[in-house]
Structure 1
Amino acid sequence: MNVAIRYAAGSDIGCSRENNEDSGYAGARLIAVADGMGGYAGGEVASSTVIGSLRSLDTDAPIDDLVGALGRAVAEANEKLRIVREERPDLSRMGTTLTAMLWDGRSVALAHIGDSRGYLLRDGELFQITQDHTMDELLKAEAEQQGGTTDPAETSRLSHVLYRVLDGREDREPDLRLREARLGDRYLLCSDGLSGPVDPQTIYETLTAEADPARAAQRLIQLARDKGGPDNITAVIADVVEAEHLTEPEVPLVVGAAAQQS
């Protein structure tokens, strides 16, 4: 059975920021969230540059190697960041996370770098399908390999320190994997402005209760605001449906900083 996605996207500045450094995209073949960083204007430029670069993947042209195509596109986006950094020294500290999924009707490739997140709601259960590239997670993984434990105070202090992002420098490799596109699945990609304030149980309840992707995305964004909205908030939702149920093509959605640049 050939499947397609019904999608929605939303982004909000939050309650504490002066500008929105998040960018998001949702189209028939591509969904993505990027959370920019690097001081005034830097985060906006970084996230919008990466999302703008990846948009070329959202095409009906057949793709033989989903994972390879997505990996190359991320590398090209990182190269564009390098060029921007060279042209604008004032943006030398900029960088961005990226969580993106590329579809072909049967399978989906996932690319992830940073601490934005991907969630999967399948058969009544919520799964986090990405791993945060933060120092606390790195320390926990190293401790597990050595059969030990970490200091909670130390890991808490490092919970927002990223060790891998896209910033135009070399060796910025994302996690890449191929997944099955299963009918009935619901995916959520979000910045940490959502996953930070809103706990997994609340995310699960909202994704389960709100059948419409747009209402679900807006509800999650409002929940993050209700929790104080300490950061920019971006959510992209994709429901896997039978292709023949989509009678009319949906318009691609660009949100956040990338919407201001396009």
Structure 2
Amino acid sequence: MSLDYRAHSETGPVRRNNQDSAYVSPTMLVVADGMGGAAAGDLASSVAIAELKRSDAPRPPDEMLEVLAGAMNRANDRLADLIAWDHQLDGMGTTVCGAMYGQGVLQMVHIGDSRAYLLRDGDLARLTHDDSWVQSLVDDGKITEAEAAVHPHRSLLLKVLNGQPTHDPDYPTLALRAGDRLLFCSDGLCGLVDDQRMRELMLGHPLDRAVTSLVDAAHRAGGYDNITLILADVVPFDPTLQAAPPQTLGAAEHVDIPKVAPAGVPGDNGPTAIVPAVDAAGVPEPGDQAVPPDAAAPVTGASGTSAPMAGTDTDERIRYTPMTRRRRRKWPWITAIAVALVLIGGGLFGAYH
């Protein structure tokens, strides 16, 4: 079988820049939703897409899990290196929701709250589980799905790809059938349009019309987030579809990823040290530019907001705060402790006299 797909990524009517990224090919479909408040969400999503793109090739199903896991590990390491190179990037991260496809098998990878859906025989099923705090409340029976959809903290994430070693993605596997329809999307769609409405817009419509209808529905619901989606039909084998060129969309289409030395490499030359990125065959990747930290990718904006009508930088800084222990600089704490000790010592000395 083959995949007949359409992909779309846009900033939306409210946001100022697109921090979502996507990549599609006959053997891979991926959506990444960058985040991080003042840090570079568009850079984070571009890193994830770049590493997954390097691993894209026709593969037997028994190799796909290992390939995807390796790409995610490399992406996470690359984010960690960028954060070590420029501490202003600390806090950036990205969701990843995608899959490799081959021989009727869909090997998925998921972290964060971007989603994958399967429309089969008229029924729409969610294939992924949100790594969000609100979803954990639903799992514990503390709130309902309807309450979760309007919860003020529905976008607070428990797991993202952000350079930390503690967040492991999920890797579900699915056997596909001819006639299945797949949807991968950022929460700019599924956070605004409920599952039932998405089912209605996907059912019985050609791919192009369905994509347009889904985007329009997100706009009518406020459109306050970046909107990225991939819609794919499983069809009988088609050589033309198999030969379709890959496409990169959203932030990953234009963001240059700085090439920096891995953190802690002996003999590196400080924050501007550079090592060339290479593809799977060991060939240096074209197009990336080495830039100083203050000229890195734009660091304004994030993936969404905590309130439907929010859209300012202040609102973006409180959006998508991953619940993880972050690196903290020591000098401010050391200085504060030293000042406190001096004040206490001076007070005791004065009291003694």
On whether the aligned pair clears a TM of 0.5, the verdict is: yes
Match of 1:226? 220
Which has the larger displacement, 7-16 or 248-257? Answer: 248-257
Tell whether 2:87 aligns with 1:96.
no
- Describe how 1:82-121 pairs up with structure 2 within 5 A: 82-121=80-119
The alignment partner of 2:62 has SS state of: coil
| Count of aligned residue pairs for this structure pair | 253
Aligned with 1:185 (options 161, 177, 180):
180
Distance 1:198 1:106 in 2: 29
Distance 2:225 2:128 in 1: 20
- Describe how 1:1-262 pairs up with structure 2 within 5 A: 3-40=1-38, 42-62=40-60, 64-141=62-139, 143-144=140-141, 149-150=142-143, 156-212=151-207, 214-244=208-238, 246=240, 249-261=243-255
Distance 1:45 1:175 in 2: 22
Contact 1:23 1:254 in 2 (8 A): yes
CA deviations 1:118-139 (Å, max 9, x no partner) are: 1110011101111111101113
Q: Larger radius of gyration, structure 1 or 2?
A: 2
Match of 2:310? none
Match of 2:321? none
Q: What one-letter code is carried by the residue in structure 1 that aligns with 2:118? A: L
Distance 1:164 1:188 in 2: 21
Q: What one-letter code is carried by the residue in structure 2 that aligns with 1:201? A: Q
1:116 Cα deviation from its structure 2 partner: 0.5
The alignment partner of 1:176 has SS state of: coil
Change (3 A) 1:57 1:238: farther
More strand by share: 1
Distance 1:39 1:59 in 2: 34
TM-score computed with the length of structure 2 as normaliser: 0.67
Contact 1:12 1:221 in 2 (8 A): no
CA deviations 1:241-262 (Å, max 9, x no partner) are: 1113646621212111011237
Moved over 6 A (4+): none
Q: What one-letter code is carried by the residue in structure 1 that aligns with 2:94? A: T
Match of 2:267? none
Gaps of 5+ in 2: 256-286, 288-353
Distance 2:132 2:241 in 1: 42
Contact 1:5 1:240 in 2 (8 A): yes
1:198 Cα deviation from its structure 2 partner: 1.2
Q: What one-letter code is carried by the residue in structure 1 that aligns with 2:203? A: T
Aligned-residue CA RMSD in angstroms?
2.0
TM-score computed with the length of structure 1 as normaliser: 0.90
The alignment partner of 1:127 has SS state of: strand
Contact 2:36 2:93 in 1 (8 A): yes
Q: What one-letter code is carried by the residue in structure 2 that aligns with 1:162? A: L
1:84 Cα deviation from its structure 2 partner: 1.3
Distance 1:260 1:74 in 2: 21
Distance 1:9 1:86 in 2: 33
Gaps of 5+ in 1: none
Which structure has more RCO (C-alpha within 8 Å, separation ≥ 6)? Answer: 1
CA deviations 1:26-78 (Å, max 9, x no partner) are: 11111000110113561100001101110023213546322222122211111
Which has the larger displacement, 218-227 or 98-107? Answer: 218-227
Change (3 A) 1:253 1:65: same
1:206 Cα deviation from its structure 2 partner: 1.3
1:218 Cα deviation from its structure 2 partner: 2.8
Contact 1:70 1:111 in 2 (8 A): yes
Distance 1:236 1:252 in 2: 13
The alignment partner of 1:75 has SS state of: helix
CA deviations 1:207-251 (Å, max 9, x no partner) are: 113212x33223211221122101000011111111136466212
Distance 2:13 2:30 in 1: 23
Contact 1:117 1:191 in 2 (8 A): yes
1:165 Cα deviation from its structure 2 partner: 0.3
Distance 2:36 2:130 in 1: 19
